[in-house]
Amino acid sequence: MKKITVLLCLLLPMLACAKETDSAETAKSTETATSTLTDQAERNKMMYSLGYLSGNNVQRELEFTPEDYKPFSQGQRDSFLKKKPQIDVEAYKTAIMQEYQRSAQIVAQRRENEQKEYLANFQKEKGVKVLDNGAMMKLSRPGKGKSPKADGTATVHYTGTLIDGTQFDSSRGRNQPFTARLTNVIPCWTKALQQMKPGARAQVVCPSDTAYGNRPVGPIPPNSVLVFDIEVLDVK
């Protein structure tokens, strides 16, 4: 918004020196210019976000070094501007695939180590309960009443994240509670919800074999430990 204000301050003197027009037309022109600048500013933010997120995605799959950025960004720029490539890019497809495979192994091993460390550290926290399938939970509010049975139904609010805090889903964000039978949710939830009563709230940590295992689900990578903040609203 500050940039828009500065630009309009520069443009208005020029408008005053231009051919005279009636006040309504001048106001309309100024309004159009403001709208265009605002729209472009928002698009710039959107495109920046797209670039940032795509950069995150690439770094999840490839081992990047600071020296890699310049040639990588130059290749992107030439492609976007439809310029002729500076080298024979087809000749490097095999090398790219090999780099993906090498990086995938490194990234997978790093994620596995980070997740093992996260699980071990969480288990040490005060009040953590380890369930019989390996899932863990820590109540922050006990709740009152009866807990749902293994084939019962629960209505909850939840937020799900990866161990690095990346949010992949939230009923709170949608402002819409989630209702499901315990037989139709991931095993981690089936066990954890049986330990909770209406009004209870807990942090539930799900090892990958109690969540989605080696299946990628939307933004959730395969073999991911998932962390849920669950609040039980009602049980049946």
User: Annotated catalytic sites, by residue?
Assistant: 158, 168-169, 186, 212, 228
Distance CA 57, CA 43 (A): 21
Token pair, residue 142, equals 């006990």
Token pair, residue 28, equals 């309309």
**Phi, psi torsion values for 146, nearest 5 degrees:** -100, 145
What is the end-to-end Cα distance of the chain in Å, rounded?
51
Check residue 59 and give left, alpha or beta (phi > 0: left; psi -120 to 50: alpha): alpha
Amino acid at 226: L
Token pair, residue 138, equals 């820590």
